[in-house]
Amino acid sequence: MLAKQLQGLGFTEKEARIYVGLLELGESAPSQLSQKTGINRATVYVTLESLQKRHLVSKIEKHKKIVFSIEHPLQILDHLEREKNNVEIKINLAKTLMPELEMLEKVTGEKARVKFYEGKEGIAIMQNDFVRSNPKEWLEIYNLNIALKHFPVSKNDHRQIIRKKKLGGRAIAIYDPKIPIPFIPPFPNAERRYLPLNKFQVPFNADISIYNDKAVFISYQGKLMAVVVQNKAIVNGLRFLFELAWQGADKFAEIKKGL
């Protein structure tokens, strides 16, 4: 139990088992700890050396043998404080470097930059990029039923950030008339039009979003994945196609009041 709790403090599984074993045995040789923990002697020695570098154990030579002993457990707190300070230094350095890094990122000419994301965690990274970029207008075509299935409305999702920031945009929601749609709070500066899925012969299991010079394609079929394309010419072409779809969706706008 204690070993598992130590893993929550950053110990690896073997480090935690060896540390607890040394606590229980007291001053010990690697061979004794190997017998105690069931971990081979070479791994025990390497792990103890790692713990020593963090000032959590000490090494001494006794009777011509190398033995290890536990430092006071408060050293764990000291180690975490050192890590915290190092992280803060790195964060401050990252903030200092960010303008230069962002400038270098933009110096890509007219090359198309493509990024791939998988799973909900990957999609979340892409969504965070969207809300951070504060686009003047976002455009989206998406399957409403499938999107809500994968990303239900919640208090902390990206939609709430869009509402708080009052980001303006337009969306075409494609929906299945046979499936009830839960209430979705409106966006203050956005407009939504609806297209019934049964009016088309082609299935639409995707989400297409456009903002700034980026286009995002999310596939809901099979494994959840997204592709982000960054290129002004390609994105402007997609904007043109969105405008055509927006005009086509206008005749279905009257159903908006019923959803």
pLDDT digits (tens, 9 = 90+) for 107-139: 554 566 888 888 888 888 888 888 888 888 889
Cα-only R_g, the chain: 28
CA distance 201 to 203: 7
Asked if the model's pLDDT at residue 259 lies above 60, the reply is no
- 148-163: per-residue pLDDT in tens? 888 877 777 777 778 7
Question: Token pair for residue 157?
Answer: 């999702």
Mean pLDDT confidence for 171-192: 80
DSSP secondary structure code for residue 179 in this structure: S
Mean pLDDT confidence for 5-16: 91
pLDDT band at 104 (very low <50, low <70, confident <90, very high): low
Of the candidates 259, 6, 33, the one whose C-alpha atom is nearest the C-alpha of residue 148 is 259
Q: Do 139 and 217 contact (CB within 8 A), yes or no?
A: no
Q: Do 130 and 209 contact (CB within 8 A), yes or no?
A: yes
pLDDT of 108 reads: 54
Mean pLDDT confidence for 4-28: 91
CA distance 90 to 199: 54
pLDDT of 254 reads: 46
CA distance 7 to 22: 16
Asked if the model's pLDDT at residue 256 lies above 60, the reply is no
pLDDT of 195 reads: 83
CA distance 252 to 197: 12
Question: pTM for the full model?
Answer: 0.55
Higher local confidence (pLDDT), 6 or 190:
6
Of the candidates 255, 243, 242, 254, the one whose C-alpha atom is nearest the C-alpha of residue 208 is 242
Mean residue pLDDT across the chain: 84
Which region among 56-60, 95-99, 167-171, 182-186 has the lowest average model confidence (pLDDT)?
182-186
Asked if the model's pLDDT at residue 13 lies above 90, the reply is yes
Ranges of each domain in the chain: 2-71, 77-107, 112-258
Asked if the model's pLDDT at residue 200 lies above 80, the reply is no
Q: Detail the DSSP E strand segments found in 182-235.
A: 190-196, 206-211, 214-219, 225-230
Asked if the model's pLDDT at residue 184 lies above 90, the reply is no
Q: What share of the chain is helix, strand, coil (3-state, %, to 5)?
A: 50, 20, 25
pLDDT of 63 reads: 81
Of the candidates 139, 251, 239, 137, the one whose C-alpha atom is nearest the C-alpha of residue 195 is 251
pLDDT of 107 reads: 57
Whole-angstrom CA distances from 12 to 87, 150, 163 are: 19, 33, 42
Mean pLDDT confidence for 224-238: 89
pLDDT of 112 reads: 66
Phi/psi of residue 238, nearest 5 degrees = -70, -35
Q: Do 239 and 139 contact (CB within 8 A), yes or no?
A: yes
- The CATH class of 112-258 is alpha beta
pLDDT of 167 reads: 83
pLDDT of 258 reads: 37
Q: Tell which CATH classification among 1.10.10.1100, 1.10.540.10, 1.10.10.10, 3.40.50.261 matches the domain 2-71.
A: 1.10.10.10
pLDDT band at 197 (very low <50, low <70, confident <90, very high): confident
pLDDT band at 252 (very low <50, low <70, confident <90, very high): low
Q: Is 8 helix (H, G, I), strand (E, B) or coil?
A: coil
pLDDT of 14 reads: 92
Q: Detail the DSSP E strand segments found in 31-168.
A: 57-62, 65-70, 113-118, 138-143
For 139, other C-beta atoms within 10 Å of its C-beta total: 22
Mean pLDDT confidence for 229-239: 89
Say whether 112-258 and 2-71 share the same fold: no
